Structure 1
Amino acid sequence: MSHSAARRTASLALLATCLPRFSHAQDLPSLEIGILPNISARVLLAQYEPMRTFLQRGLGRGVQLSTAASWNAFHARTLGLEYDLVITASHLARVAQLERGLVPLLMYEPAIKGMIICARKRPLKSAAELDGQTLALSNPQSLVTLRGFQWLSEKSLVRGRHFKTINTPTDDSVGNVVLQGDAIAAMLSGGEYRAIPGPIKEQLQVLATFAEVPGFVVLASPRLAPALVNAIKEALLRFAGGTPEGTAFFAATGFSAIRELPPGLMASMDPYVGTTKAILANPG
C-alpha cells in the first residue's frame, strides 16, 4: 500500500470512529430552559440568546428558551417539571426546591434592587406621600414587592389601609400607568426599570431604592441525570467566565456574574415561603 493510500485509510478509520459520536450527539434530547417572565417575552428571549447559543454548542445538544404569560403560569410549569433548567426568583426557587425537589445550582449577581418610581411632572418627596394614593405593581408576586410592602409597613404605610395597589402585566406598561396618572407611583425591580423603553423612562424618576434582594437562582429538574446536571453547571460557569457570549449577555441584562450559591441562601427564603404560596394561589 502506498504512503498516500495508507493516509487515506487512516483518515477513513478516524472518520468512522467520529461519525457515531456525532450522530449520537445529534440524537440527544434537547434541553428546555424556563425563564421567569419578569420582563416582556420579546426582550427576555433576545437577552438570553447568547446563553442558548453557548450551551447548545458546549453541551452538544439542542437548547430551547421558554417563558410564560405570567409568573403564576411559569411557576405552575416549574412545579409541573416542564422545564429542564429553571431561572427564577430566589423565593420561587425555594418553593420549587421544597415542593418538587428541583436542584439549586447557581445564582446571579448583583442582588436585585427594589425601587419606587414616580413621574417627573408629579414628583414625590417621600414615601409618606403614598398615603391615600394608588401604587402600581410591576410584579405582585416578586420578592421585591414582598420586601417593599415590609419597608412601607415600617413607615406605617399598610396596603389596603393607607394605600391601594393595581397590577400591571409587564414592565412596558408600568411606566405608562404612572405617566397617565392611574397610579401616583410604581414599585418594581432594577431590572424591570432598566427594561422600560427610553422615551418613557425619561419622564420618570426614582423616589427610593428601598432594598436589595438575592438575585435569580438557576435550578435543574430532578429528572435530569446527575452527570448532565454537572455538565450544565460547568458550562454556565464557563459561559460567565469571560466568554464573548457571556459578555454580551451581561451587557444586555445588567447582571454581572453567575456564581456558586452561598451557604444558607435557599434557607434564607423560608420566611417568604408561606406568603409566596398564598399570593400565587390568590394572585388578585
Structure 2
Amino acid sequence: MRGVLRLALAVCALATFIHAAGTAWAQDKPLRVALMPFTNTMRLMEMYQPLRESLQATLGRPVYLLTAADYESYFRLMREQGYDIAVTGPHFGAWAVAHGARPLLRYGPTLKPILVVRADSPIASPLDLHGKVLTLSNRLSVSSITGQAWLAGLGLTEGRDYRLTVSPTHTTAIMSVVMGEADAAITTHTPVQQAPEDTRKAIRVIESPKGFPHLFTIASPTMPAEQAERVKAALLTFADTAAGKDFLESSGYRSYRDISAEDLESLRGPVSLLSAIVPEAAQ
C-alpha cells in the first residue's frame, strides 16, 4: 500500500510538472531533483524517497525525482539545465558551477577511486592487471576518469596491458567482478558500502592514493539565489531528522558539508579530463 501511495504521489507530481512547464519560476512549481544514475532507477528512486518527502514537506511544494538512462544522457541534461536541483558527481558539479550553477552542499566523505576484485583474487595491486579484464562503471564517472588516470600514472595502458569493458552503473560493475565476468572494477567506496552483505564479503578493495570531494548538490543557474538558500536550509533540516540521519548513514554519505573553494580547485583535473571526453563540455 505504501508503494502504491508513493507511486501515486510521483504521478501527481509529474502531472503538475507538465502543467507548469513553460511558466515562470514560481514557488508552487514542482522542484525537479536530478539524480546521477549510479545505480538502477528503481533503487535510486527508493533510496531518495525520504529526501523527496522531506523537501516537499519543508518547502511546501511538489518535488519530482528524475534521472537518466546513463551518464552521457545525465550530463546532457545538466548542460541543458533540465533540472532545478542536481545530486551529481563532483566533476559534473564543478563543471556546472563554472557555468553558473549555485553550489549548495556536498556529502562529507572523500571519494577515492578503488579497484574491486574478488576476495580470492591474486590481484594485489594495479600492476597485477596485466592481461586482465577491467570494467568501469561508466566512462564519464569521476571514479572511471580519475581511476584510469591512476593506472596511466603507473604505466598501464588500456588495450596493451588490460582489456576494458564498460558497465552501465557502479552496481553492475561490482557484480561483474562477483560473477567472474571481469577480474577487477574501478568504482568508489560508497557503492561498495551500499551493496548487500553477501556481495561485500565476496570482494576486496585496493585503494588509490588520490581523493576528491563526494557528490555535489547544486542548484540550476536559473534558480533565484533566495530560493537556492531555502533549498539548502531544507537539506540541512532533513539531515537533522531521524529519516535524514538514517539516509546519510545507510548510504555511506554520513553528512552534508559546504562546497569550498578548495573542493572546486581540487576538481580542475577531473573537469579537464571530462572536457577532453565530451567536447561539448569545453564550450
- The aligned counterpart of 1:96 is 96
Which of 274, 277, 280 lines up with 1:279 in the alignment?
Answer: 277
1:14-29 correspondence to structure 2 within 5 Å: 28-29=28-29
Shift of 1:48: 1.1
Secondary structure in 1 aligned to 2:140?
A: coil
Which of 258, 261, 264 lines up with 1:260 in the alignment?
Answer: 258
- The aligned counterpart of 2:42 is 42
Give the AA of the match of 2:79.
Answer: L
- The aligned counterpart of 1:218 is 217
State yes or no: 1:159 paired with 2:161: no
Structure 1 pair 169/281, CA: closer, same or farther in 2 (3 Å)?
A: farther
Conserved? CA contact 1:112–1:190, under 8 Å: yes
- The aligned counterpart of 2:17 is none
1:1-284 correspondence to structure 2 within 5 Å: 28-99=28-99, 101-240=100-239, 242-280=240-278
- The aligned counterpart of 1:18 is none
Structure 1: give runs of 5+ residues left out of the alignment: 1-25
Q: Which has the larger radius of gyration?
A: 1
Shift of 1:30: 1.2
Cα distance in 2, alignment partners of residues 178 and 200 from structure 1: 10
Which deviates the most, 261-270 or 217-226? Answer: 261-270
Conserved? CA contact 1:171–1:196, under 8 Å: no
Cα distance in 2, alignment partners of residues 94 and 172 from structure 1: 24
TM-score, length of structure 1 as denominator length:
0.82
Give the AA of the match of 1:257.
Answer: S
Give the AA of the match of 1:158.
Answer: T
Structure 1 pair 229/149, CA: closer, same or farther in 2 (3 Å)?
A: same
Cα distance in 1, alignment partners of residues 170 and 147 from structure 2: 17
Cα distance in 1, alignment partners of residues 263 and 201 from structure 2: 36
Give the AA of the match of 2:162.
Answer: F
Conserved? CA contact 1:96–1:102, under 8 Å: yes
- The aligned counterpart of 2:8 is none
% identical aligned pairs:
28
- The aligned counterpart of 2:4 is none
Cα distance in 2, alignment partners of residues 117 and 133 from structure 1: 13
Conserved? CA contact 1:136–1:185, under 8 Å: yes
Conserved? CA contact 2:212–2:267, under 8 Å: no
Conserved? CA contact 2:113–2:186, under 8 Å: yes
Structure 1 pair 231/218, CA: closer, same or farther in 2 (3 Å)?
A: same
Cα distance in 1, alignment partners of residues 120 and 75 from structure 2: 37
Cα distance in 2, alignment partners of residues 125 and 71 from structure 1: 30
Secondary structure in 2 aligned to 1:206?
A: strand
Conserved? CA contact 2:146–2:270, under 8 Å: no
Secondary structure in 2 aligned to 1:140?
A: coil
Structure 2: give runs of 5+ residues left out of the alignment: 1-25
Structure 1 pair 130/102, CA: closer, same or farther in 2 (3 Å)?
A: same
- The aligned counterpart of 2:15 is none
Shift of 1:27: 7.8
Secondary structure in 2 aligned to 1:276?
A: helix
Conserved? CA contact 2:56–2:63, under 8 Å: yes
Conserved? CA contact 1:175–1:201, under 8 Å: no
Give the AA of the match of 1:31.
Answer: L
Instruction: State how many pairs are aligned.
Output: 255
CA offsets per residue over residues 223-242 of structure 1, 9 Å max, x none? 222221111111112222x2
Which deviates the most, 41-50 or 150-159? Answer: 150-159
Conserved? CA contact 1:40–1:171, under 8 Å: no
TM-score, length of structure 2 as denominator length:
0.82
Secondary structure in 2 aligned to 1:135?
A: strand
Secondary structure in 2 aligned to 1:69?
A: coil
Cα distance in 1, alignment partners of residues 184 and 55 from structure 2: 40
Shift of 1:127: 2.0
Give the AA of the match of 1:86.
Answer: A
Cα distance in 1, alignment partners of residues 170 and 250 from structure 2: 16
Shift of 1:267: 3.1
- The aligned counterpart of 2:22 is none
CA offsets per residue over residues 107-141 of structure 1, 9 Å max, x none? 11111232111123433132221012221111321
Which deviates the most, 68-77 or 184-193? Answer: 184-193
